[in-house]
């Protein structure tokens, strides 16, 4: 296992992170304990959960695991949870208000059986609550020793900058991480969200790195997914392969490419997809979910897998998101582009429409 700094902090985390969304739902407590043990034994450290995973069963299971394991084992864990979601039937039962976050954080600490959570993440934005109110609560929680670091999840680019700039202007603790949806089948975050995170030195912790299992290799173009799979359920969580759409065709081409590279390397598609993502610029640790110990073992195979330039380029090309128009098309990129005489690398590289060849100098 390799390790990386958690953004602009002195804390180090494993190259792969374990997500616990299945704990207490699709994964039994015994299996969850085995998965947590296996992850730590393999050198993993970053464990991610949330106050609403499986109701709140995931946090409770992790808490019981903490209580049943020696302190020298649990001390290695960098524990992350989230607050913002809650009871939609209660007007004050969710959001980023001081009142709700206070109750949500205290409840999470009690379920987890800890006095401090290492990374407390805002699960999503709440523009009904002034950002100053949210940031003041988080700063108080850090000073009270309830959390070590603040993180964000599912924020837009401008919202990331608003939160970070406001925190700096007020002299409050600044977020250190961002959890976006990001994978070979979901790369539009590269346009605004990831540049905002990188500009502010936030650790990028992608969720759903295997796109709900579509990048695991268990699905094939033209096949009907089995009913006991996420894709085959009546209400699949992900719609990566919607019928007869151009996006669906690109997704299947990407899955085919991942599978071909995996076969050539003697690896699995999941390992290839995770390795590609783990080595993207700014990414600290993809957060993979594991419903079973077998899934854990497969995913952990990506820990030391390194793709060569040919494989990386092939995946980059086949999965490149189509902009669709201004401001993300070649013309829009050209407006923001600045060519330097010394040949310094460009921040945004415009491409010809339908081509993998970079455009020449843009003069407008």
Quick one: which of 120, 90, 91, 93 has its CA closest to 108?
A: 120
Burial of residue 140 (number of CB atoms within 10 Å: 0-12, 13-18, 19+):
middle
Helices (H), 42-117: 57-68, 71-74, 98-112
Number of H helices, E strands in the chain: 12, 10
Which of the following is catalytic: 53, 149, 182, 219?
53
The single-letter DSSP state of residue 353 is T
Active site residue 328: no
* Sign of the Cα pseudo-torsion (73, 2, 300, 198, in order): positive
Beta bridge partners of 199: none
- Contact, 119 vs 160, CB < 8 A? no
**How many of the other CB atoms lie within 10 Å of CB of 356?**
11
User: How far apart are the C-alpha atoms of 281 and 110, rounded to whole Å?
Assistant: 36
Structure tokens at 316: 């980059």
- Contact, 126 vs 98, CB < 8 A? no
User: How far apart are the C-alpha atoms of 153 and 15, rounded to whole Å?
Assistant: 19
User: How far apart are the C-alpha atoms of 101 and 85, rounded to whole Å?
Assistant: 10
Active site members: 53
């Amino acid at each position: 296992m390799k390790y990386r700094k958690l953004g602009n902090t002195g804390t180090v985390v494993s190259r792969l992170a374990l997500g616990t969304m299945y704990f207490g739902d699709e994964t039994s407590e015994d299996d969850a304990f085995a998965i947590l043990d296996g992850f730590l034994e393999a050198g993993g450290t970053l464990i991610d959960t949330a106050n609403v995973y499986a109701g709140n069963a995931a946090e409770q299971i992790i808490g019981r695991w903490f209580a049943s394991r020696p302190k020298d084992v649990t001390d290695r864990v960098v524990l992350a949870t989230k607050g913002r979601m809650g009871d939609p039937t209660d007007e004050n039962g969710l959001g980023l208000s001081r009142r709700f976050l206070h109750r949500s954080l205290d409840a999470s600490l009690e379920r987890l059986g800890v006095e401090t959570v290492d990374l407390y993440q805002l699960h999503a934005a709440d523009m009904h609550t002034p950002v100053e109110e949210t940031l003041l609560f988080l700063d108080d929680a850090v000073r009270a020793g309830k959390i070590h670091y603040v993180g964000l999840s599912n924020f837009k680019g401008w919202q990331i900058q608003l939160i970070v700039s406001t925190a700096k202007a007020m002299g409050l603790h600044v977020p250190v991480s961002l959890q976006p949806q990001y994978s070979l089948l979901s790369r539009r975050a590269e346009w605004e969200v990831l540049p905002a995170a990188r500009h502010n030195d936030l650790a990028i912790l992608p969720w759903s790195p295997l796109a709900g299992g579509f990048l695991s290799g268990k699905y094939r173009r033209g096949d009907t997914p089995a009913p006991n799979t996420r894709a085959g359920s009546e209400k699949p969580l992900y719609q990566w392969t919607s019928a007869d759409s151009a996006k669906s065709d690109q997704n299947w081409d990407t899955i085919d490419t991942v599978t071909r590279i995996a076969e050539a390397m003697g690896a699995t598609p999941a390992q290839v997809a995770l390795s590609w993502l783990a080595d993207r610029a700014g990414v600290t640790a993809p957060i993979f979910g594991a419903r079973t110990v077998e899934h854990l073992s497969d995913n952990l195979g990506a820990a030391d897998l390194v793709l060569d330039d040919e494989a990386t380029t092939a995946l980059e090309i086949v999965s490149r998101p189509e902009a669709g128009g201004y401001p993300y098309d070649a013309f829009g990129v050209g407006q923001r582009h600045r060519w330097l005489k010394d040949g310094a690398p460009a921040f945004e590289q415009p491409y010809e429409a339908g081509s993998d060849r970079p455009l020449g100098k843009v003069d407008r």
